[in-house]
């Protein structure tokens, strides 16, 4: 891949992944938001929260996210992701895909606030879902199954040359949480 996406399978062992999932699932104050895609307003098909250091702002799909405070579990996961990636992160978007009707369409994390070649650490908890990448010009698609505890670290040109998605699925799937740690610039 021109741009890099490195998969660390079972970055969290099953017990750690399960604890983090349950803690976030039960105690996070999940928010539901409207986004604007191709000029049309939609309810985002997932719940989420945005956590950031002081003064960090982030807007995607015309939605400006208001940060809520970090929690101990999020700070612990941030430190672990910083250690393995060698990057530093000032924010995390936490997403809850309640079932197969939730997903996120083709997009790249290429908003100005992410900077030109962002390092993004994406940690999966809960149910397994398929993560697809599509090359913007070659249209080639590559897919990987993300299981609880798996970490994908995207860097380099991965956001400028590729888009990615979590497709909705008719399969019976339980809830999945994904955390994308980012370094947002003001």
Ligand X SMILES: O=C(O)CCC(=O)C(=O)O
What three-state secondary structure class fits 134? strand
Which of 105, 175 has the CB closer to Mn ion? 105
Q: What are the E-state strand segments in 68-150?
A: 91-97, 104-107, 120-126, 129-135, 141-146
Which of 71, 128 has the CB closer to ligand X? 128
Long-range CB contacts for residues 61-66, cutoff 8 Å, separation at least 24: 61/35, 61/36, 61/37, 62/35, 62/36, 63/33, 63/34, 63/35, 63/36, 65/93
Q: Which of 93, 119, 151, 153 binds ligand X (CB under 6 A)?
A: 93
Closest CA to 70 of 170, 179, 167, 154: 179
- Shortest reach from residue 149's CB to Mn ion, in Å: 19
For 114, phi then psi, to 5°, come to -80, -15
Joined together, the tokens standing for residue 17 give 């992944």
Contact between 109 and ligand X by CB under 6 A: the answer reads: yes
Which of 60, 70 has the CB closer to ligand X? 60
Contact between 49 and ligand X by CB under 6 A: the answer reads: no
Partner from ligand X, Mn ion, none contacting 178, C-beta within 5 to 8 A by type: ligand X
Binding residues for ligand X, total number by CB under 6 A: 11
Which of 19, 59 has the CB closer to Mn ion? 59
CB atoms within 10 A of CB 61: 16
Contact between 28 and ligand X by CB under 6 A: the answer reads: no
Interatomic CA distance for residues 17 and 176, integer angstroms: 11
Interatomic CA distance for residues 153 and 177, integer angstroms: 16
Q: Whose CB is nearest to ligand X?
A: 178
- Shortest reach from residue 118's CB to ligand X, in Å: 11
Partner from ligand X, Mn ion, none contacting 95, C-beta within 5 to 8 A by type: ligand X
Contact between 131 and ligand X by CB under 6 A: the answer reads: yes
- Shortest reach from residue 107's CB to ligand X, in Å: 7
List residues binding ligand X (CB under 6 A).
93, 95, 104, 109, 122, 131, 146, 164, 166, 178, 180
């Amino acid at each position: 891949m021109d741009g890099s996406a490195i998969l660390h399978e079972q970055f969290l062992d099953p017990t750690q992944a399960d604890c983090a999932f349950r803690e976030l699932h039960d105690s996070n104050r999940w928010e539901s938001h409207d986004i604007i895609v191709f000029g049309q307003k939609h309810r985002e098909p997932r719940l989420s929260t945005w956590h950031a250091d002081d003064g960090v702002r982030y807007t995607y799909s015309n939605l400006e996210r208001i940060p809520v405070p970090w929690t101990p579990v999020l700070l612990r996961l941030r430190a672990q992701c910083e250690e393995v990636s060698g990057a530093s992160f000032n924010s995390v978007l936490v997403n809850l895909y309640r079932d197969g009707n939730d997903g996120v369409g083709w997009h790249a994390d290429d908003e100005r606030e992410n900077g030109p070649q962002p390092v993004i650490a994406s940690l999966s908890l809960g149910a397994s879902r398929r993560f697809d990448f599509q090359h913007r010009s070659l249209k080639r698609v590559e897919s990987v199954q993300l299981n609880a505890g798996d970490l994908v670290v995207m860097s380099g040109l991965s956001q400028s040359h590729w888009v990615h998605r979590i497709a909705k699925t008719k399969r019976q799937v339980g809830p999945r949480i994904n955390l994308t740690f980012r370094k947002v610039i003001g």
